[in-house]
Amino acid sequence: MKPHEFASLMCSRLCHDLLSPVGALNNGIELLAEEHDPEMRARCLDLLADSARASANKLKFFRLAFGAAGGFADQVDTREAKAAIEGLYGDSRVVVGWMVDESTMSKAALKVLLNLSLIAGDALVRGGRLDIGVERHGDGLDMVIRAEGPRIVVDPELKRTLLGEGAEDAVAPRVAAAWLVHCLVQEGGGSLQYGDADEGVLLLGASVPA
């Protein structure tokens, strides 16, 4: 896949995820301009605040997961990743468990962790629990993402893309995160594990250089 094609995929994914909160902002502003009842205006302001917070949280997460956050440093503080994930799911029905002892991680490893967390979190369509763990083994890091909930939905194409079994020229925006993970792990000489959702549990794993 050519660089501009991958950039197009990521832009499509960003636009899709930001459309809802930004659209809610627009609707809230329109309602506020037409509404004169104090109680209804207060509700409009609450809507605007919620939508603005959701938009900001998504942008913070995407900046770390897809962008060049962290400046020119090779290592990124894992507290930034924790805050980004909790911000992304803070207002949802997903409870986040963070079991990462590493204080810093390479940018590539952090992107793998964030995108696997995004994939697993998106699968919890009715909420649930998202546990994120990282252990160091010598010069490598082992990551495990566990999603548990009453209903887990995973696009079959996502699994194929994650494991590199799909065609490069047929990668859709909805699986852009999976393609990014696949590329980063492959470039680093690591490996990926995918456990099919069974009895309300989805397991994703990766082994990458520290």
Q: Of 121, 56, 63, nearest to 92 (Cα)? A: 121
Question: 94, 117 in Cβ contact below 8 A?
Answer: no
Tally of CB atoms within 10 A around 169: 8
CATH number, residue 195: 3.30.565.10
Indicate the number of domains in the chain: 1
Classify strands 201-209 and 140-148 as parallel, antiparallel or unpaired.
antiparallel
Rounded CA-CA distance 125/131 in Å is: 16
Can you spell out the DSSP letters for 22-86?
HHHHHHHHHHHHH---HHHHHHHHHHHHHHHHHHHHHHHHHHHHTS-TTTT-SEEEHHHHHHHHH
Rounded Cα gap, residues 208 and 191, in angstroms = 7
Report the amino acid identity of residue 128. Answer: G
Confirm whether pTM is higher than 0.85.
yes
Q: In whole angstroms, how large is the CA radius of gyration of the chain?
A: 18
Cβ within 8 Å of residue 127, ≥6 positions away: 92, 93, 94, 149, 150
Domain containing 40 equals 3-209
Q: Along the 210 residues of the chain, how does pLDDT read in single tens digits?
A: 665 576 777 777 778 777 888 888 888 888 888 878 888 888 888 888 888 888 889 889 998 998 876 555 688 999 999 999 999 987 778 999 999 999 999 999 999 999 999 999 999 999 999 999 999 988 899 999 999 999 999 988 999 999 888 666 667 888 889 999 999 999 999 999 999 877 889 999 999 998
- The pLDDT of residue 77 is 93
